[in-house]
């Protein structure tokens, strides 16, 4: 893990002054202060991360009552579990007695969650089942001491959580994705592989890298030779339009090329980012693989390869890159001031059999290697940004436009919190 020097003069007043200066130079990278300050990091968790909808898992990972997986955010832990009634819950992994975690393993199946410290027992819905000898307190209320809960929505098999009890509805905005995302039948898809890449950098640097493709041509040669997103729009307009003209007839899916843009300050409600578009692959490439050729059976309702890829955003920190034969989900989670978990999940058709219909290494090749390349450049970026001599430069007006939208939302949210 990388460490940076703590600012001993940090304060809310200093944060306010830094935000004032940022407002004087819009559309520039932000000051290194925002990557180095522990005060900023704690405020980010409270005001941005814990108020946003975040991908937590897929229904196939929670098939039976008692199936669970852990979601680690910052220094916190949540248990994502299917309870005995079949409902998916998100429970804070904190005993209501003196705070010990009640679940340790990353995934599994449990009939109850038992605190290892003093033995309090919780049902899979989070309710308190037993609190040893606490009947000695006549005022003790079992019903008032269940595990705290986060909000949960399930959309097309994707499980999202929000730690804010007052969070806005997410299912409404997600309906904009019904046609293009529904084509992949994700509710019945199979998780072919998932992997968490720990990046020794502030979470914003990791997310910022994903939000722009200015670096794609120079840092991702395998990706760049296939995907038109690495070029300015006007340079690849003919390729993209030709793909959009044939996408519905080739894939057999109405609305496959639909576009919707409602992210960050333009989201319908806070933390409810929803975006989709379809961009082209260069001629001769059908999917995102080592050679651009199919690596798995077609997904869901898709009937053919149109030479396109679906681009999706669901919440501020969760994204998908969907090819006709497999889908790739990215999630970015802060784990400390200088540590970020970048989880990548690969989905294939639910009926596909590993070793028969697909090979895992071929499905994961492109984005595993691209992620390793990202880790390298983000780490170099982090080392430069944390220099005392770093001076932020201007954003590119097209390649870094989505990144600008994130930064505007980020600065506006921090300013409002003051």
What does the pLDDT read at residue 218? 95
Percent of the chain with pLDDT over 90: 97
Structural contact between residues 69 and 107, judged by C-beta atoms closer than 8 angstroms: yes
- 9 — pLDDT class (breaks 50, 70, 90): confident
Does 4 have pLDDT greater than 80? no
Where residue 8 falls among pLDDT bands split at 50, 70, 90? Answer: confident
The mean pLDDT value for 233-247 works out to: 97
pLDDT digits (tens, 9 = 90+) for 313-322: 999 999 999 9
Predicted confidence (pLDDT) per residue in 321-358, tens digit: 999 999 999 999 999 999 999 999 999 999 999 999 99
Nearest to 71 by CA among 51, 53, 91: 91
Closest CA to 116 of 141, 145, 93: 93
Write down the pLDDT at residue 157.
98
Question: What is d(CA 291, CA 348) in angstroms, rounded to the nearest whole number?
Answer: 18
Summarize the confidence of residues 46-73 as an average pLDDT.
Answer: 98
**Tell me: the pLDDT tens digits for 103-113?**
999 999 999 99
Mean pLDDT score of the chain, rounded to an integer? Answer: 96
Average pLDDT over residues 86-99: 98
Binned at pLDDT 50, 70 and 90, residue 253 comes out as very high
Q: What is the pLDDT of residues 125-158, one digit of tens each?
A: 999 999 999 999 999 999 999 999 999 999 999 9
Residue 2's pLDDT band (boundaries 50, 70, 90)? low
All domains of the chain in start order, with CATH: 60-150 (2.102.10.10), 167-417 (3.90.380.10)
Q: Tell me, what's the pLDDT at 147?
A: 98
Q: Where are the alpha helices (DSSP H) in 120-194?
A: 171-174, 178-182
Residue 74's pLDDT is what?
Answer: 96
Residue with tokens 């299917």: 82
Q: Is the pLDDT assigned to residue 1 strictly greater than 60? A: no
Signed CA dihedral, 88, 301, 213, 237: sign only = negative
Handedness of CA 178, 179, 183, 184 (dihedral sign): negative
pLDDT band at 274 (very low <50, low <70, confident <90, very high): very high
């Amino acid at each position: 893990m990388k460490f940076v020097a703590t600012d001993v003069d940090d304060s809310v007043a200093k944060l306010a002054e830094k935000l004032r200066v940022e407002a004087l130079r819009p559309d520039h990278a932000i000051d290194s202060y925002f990557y180095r300050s522990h005060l900023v990091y704690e405020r980010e968790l409270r005001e941005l991360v814990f108020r946003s909808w975040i991908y937590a898992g897929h229904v196939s990972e929670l098939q039976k009552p008692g199936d669970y997986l852990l979601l680690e955010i910052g220094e916190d832990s949540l248990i994502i579990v299917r309870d005995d009634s079949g409902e998916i819950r998100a429970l804070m992994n904190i005993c209501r007695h003196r705070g010990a975690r009640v679940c340790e393993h990353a995934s599994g199946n449990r009939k109850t969650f038992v605190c290892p410290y003093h033995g309090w027992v919780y049902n899979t819905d989070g309710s308190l089942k037993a609190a040893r000898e606490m009947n000695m307190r006549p005022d003790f209320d079992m019903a008032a001491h269940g595990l705290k809960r986060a909000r949960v929505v399930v959309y097309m098999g994707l499980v999202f959580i929000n730690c804010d009890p007052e969070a806005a509805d997410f299912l409404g905005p997600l309906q904009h994705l019904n046609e293009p995302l529904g084509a992949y039948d994700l509710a019945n898809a199979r998780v072919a592989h998932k992997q968490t890449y720990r990046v020794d950098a502030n979470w914003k640097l990791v997310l910022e890298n994903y939000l722009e493709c200015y670096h794609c041509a120079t840092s991702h040669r395998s990706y760049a030779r296939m995907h038109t997103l690495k070029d300015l729009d006007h340079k690849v307009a003919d390729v993209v339009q030709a793909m959009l003209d044939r996408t519905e007839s080739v894939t057999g899916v109405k609305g496959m090329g639909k576009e919707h843009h409602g992210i960050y300050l333009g989201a319908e409600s806070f933390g409810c980012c929803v975006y989709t578009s379809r961009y082209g692959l260069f001629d001769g490439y059908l999917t995102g693989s080592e050679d651009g050729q199919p690596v798995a059976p077609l997904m869901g309702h898709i009937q053919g390869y149109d030479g396109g890829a679906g681009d999706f955003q669901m919440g501020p920190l969760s994204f998908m890159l969907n090819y006709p034969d497999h889908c790739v989900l990215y999630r970015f989670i802060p784990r400390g001031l200088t540590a970020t978990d970048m989880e990548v999940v690969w989905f294939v058709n639910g009926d596909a059999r590993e070793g028969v219909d697909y090979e895992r290494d071929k499905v994961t090749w492109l984005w595993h290697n691209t992620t390793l390349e990202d880790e390298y450049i983000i780490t170099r970026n982090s080392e430069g940004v944390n220099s005392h001599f770093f001076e932020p430069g201007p954003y590119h007006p097209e390649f870094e436009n989505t990144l600008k939208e994130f930064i505007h939302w980020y600065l506006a949210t921090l300013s409002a919190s003051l």
